[in-house]
Amino acid sequence: MSVLNYLVALIDRHGFSILNKSYITYSAEFKEQAIRRVIVNHESLYSVALDLGLKSPGILFNWVRSYKENGYNVIIKPKGRPRHESQKQADQAGKSPLKARKPSLTPSELKTYYRERICKKIARLSQPKEQEPKAEEIAAAVTQLRRELKVSVTFILETINANPDLPHMSRSNYYYTINKKDKDAKNQPLMTLIRKIYEDNKHHYGYRRVAQTIQNLDIKVNHKKIQRLMTKMKLYGIRIKGWRKYNSYRGSQGPIKPDLIRRNFFSILPDRKWYSDVTEFKLNGQKTYLSPIIDGCTQEIISYTISRSPNLKQTMDMVDLAWLKNHGVEQSMSRKGNSLDDGLMEGFFGILKREMFYGFEKNFKNLTELEQAIREYIDYYNNERIKIKLKGLAPIKYRELVLS
């Protein structure tokens, strides 16, 4: 609740006169009652402050904090100017009339409150990821609770281990965990570089391509080390979803042309084998179609067209007229309905959709934004996205290497 909203609610509850009151001194009994409502009765701090007419919920927050810091005692602060050193010495000798009040909560109430706080904090460790937290996370939470509640480690661990729904930890394991040295402290510069590469490539890279990118920078590092560090930092590349066998529409077939490739997609030199196909994108009940050409050597996208209608026939007619007859290019046709015969192109479609479309549909308001994202991804794919099979280079860089 913001300060403005609180003031509006305060005026609505108590009227404008509540703001005209001068400085108010609250008694210890008044503070105890307010604190007890928050800690023991579990009432909202804001609602209690509003009900009591406090001008700010921060007043009650400070009472509760001071109450905990002083061993769950309400302390009455002395008024006026600070006392002289001699007066302080006299107070220490037992002559001060101001004494800390006795705890307002019974030992049983305090233990119940402590246990609730402990269980609530440890349970939160498992909520974001829905899996058992690591020993380091549990030990850090225990240490924090020990400082906040001023209770023993034994009490905290006994509370945790008595609850079957919470992860357990022994006393020896706790001290072993907090005292062991972080073996990756010296790897912080490398971990920073890993995160930068991971973020720059929009979380597409797994540990293999991150390792290859680092090795391309002339930094010698084992890929297993990169895998361990990425797991520790919870950095995971986008994974392939479960796939199903794809069968395209066979339709009516004209004259059958020979399959010259026979799934031997690789070429030693660029521009010797090209592959093309059409894939469909569905967004908000509308469709757009991508028809690229991929090179069998560099695996770069040579060219592509994007259309709102499936015009593969027009594209192939254009290729037939422009290239096949005038440049001695032979046409090879895969069997209809068998995507494996065009595996290189289908592989690119899978990478494309996995890394920029599947799961990201809500990022695109319309087909225009989607089509622009496809263009940007193809540029990234050609110029930046490394491939292990291409000696850890992007397709365009691999072309330059082959032709050099």
Question: Residues 6 or more apart from 356 whose CB is under 8 A from it?
Answer: 373, 374, 377
Q: What is residue 154's predicted lDDT score, i.e. its pLDDT?
A: 93
> How far apart (Å, rounded) are the C-alpha atoms in residues 79 and 81?
7
How far is 271 from 264, CA to CA, in rounded Å? 15
Predicted local distance difference test score (pLDDT) of residue 110: 83
Q: Where are the domains of the chain?
A: 3-78, 108-179, 185-232, 274-330+340-403
Q: What is the pLDDT of residues 14-65, one digit of tens each?
A: 887 777 776 678 888 888 888 888 888 878 888 888 888 888 888 888 888 8
CA separation, residue 108 to residues 40, 67, 113, 148, 158 (Å): 11, 17, 9, 18, 16
Residues of the chain with pLDDT under 50: 95-102, 242-255, 318, 321-322, 325
312-343 pLDDT per residue, tens: 665 665 455 445 645 556 665 665 555 555 77
CA distance 76 to 54: 18
SS3 content of the chain, % helix, strand, coil (to 5): 50, 5, 40
Task: Give the pLDDT of residue 288.
Answer: 93
Tokens of 22: 């001068």
What pLDDT is attached to residue 198?
Answer: 92
Predicted local confidence at residue 102, as pLDDT: 47
- CATH number assigned to the domain with residue range 274-330+340-403, chosen from the 4 options 1.10.390, 3.40.50, 3.30.420, 2.40.50: 3.30.420
pLDDT for position 41 = 80
CA distance 216 to 392: 7
State the pLDDT at residue 259.
Answer: 60
* CA dihedral over 266, 270, 274, 278, signed as positive or negative: positive
pLDDT of residue 71: 62
Amino acid identity, position 174:
Y
Directed axis angle between helix 188-200 and helix 207-216, to 10°?
A: 110
Cβ(235)–Cβ(194) below 8 Å = yes
